[in-house]
Each structure stands twice: as structure tokens, then as C-alpha cells.
Amino acid sequence: MTVRPVLPDVARQHLSRVKELRHTASWANHAAAIEARLAARELAELGLSLRDIGTVLGVSHQRVHQLLHDPVVSAESDERR
């Protein structure tokens, strides 16, 4: 036997919006990570130091090192370059 709650329409609408916003946030976080990698690489190519890149991106120089050495960049992002 499966018990399923009966929710008012307004509550179901809010829950649907929660699901939609969580999906959007997940996509946005992924896209932001890709853009951060690309920005770090562009700045490094210009000769900026890890510390300077970190200042520009708002992250530590250690995080910049990780961004520069992370091979995971989507094909979609590479197509925009």
C-alpha cells in the first residue's frame, strides 16, 4: 500500500517552483565553475600571477592553481572561445 499526501494546489505550485529553482541553481553553479576556469586561464595567459588572478576572481591563489589544472571544461564553453 502506498500512501500519498493530498496537497492543496498552492502548496503543489510552491513545491514545483522549488524543484525548478533547485535545477536552475545547479545549472548556474556548474556554468559559473566553467566560467571561473576559463577566466583563470585567460588571465594566466596574460601573465597575471596566481595571487593576482585570485584577487580578481575573489578566490585564494591555491584555488586558482586548482582552476588552472582542472581539465574538466565542457565542449560548449570551448566553442564560445
The model's pLDDT over 11-39, given as tens digits with 9 standing for 90+, comes to 999 999 999 999 999 999 999 999 999 99
The model's pLDDT over 39-75, given as tens digits with 9 standing for 90+, comes to 999 999 999 999 999 999 999 999 999 999 987 655 4
Rounded to whole angstroms, the Cα distance separating 17 from 22 reads 8
Tell me if the pTM is above 0.75.
no
Please list the alpha-helical segments (H only) found in the chain: 9-45, 50-57, 61-69, 75-80
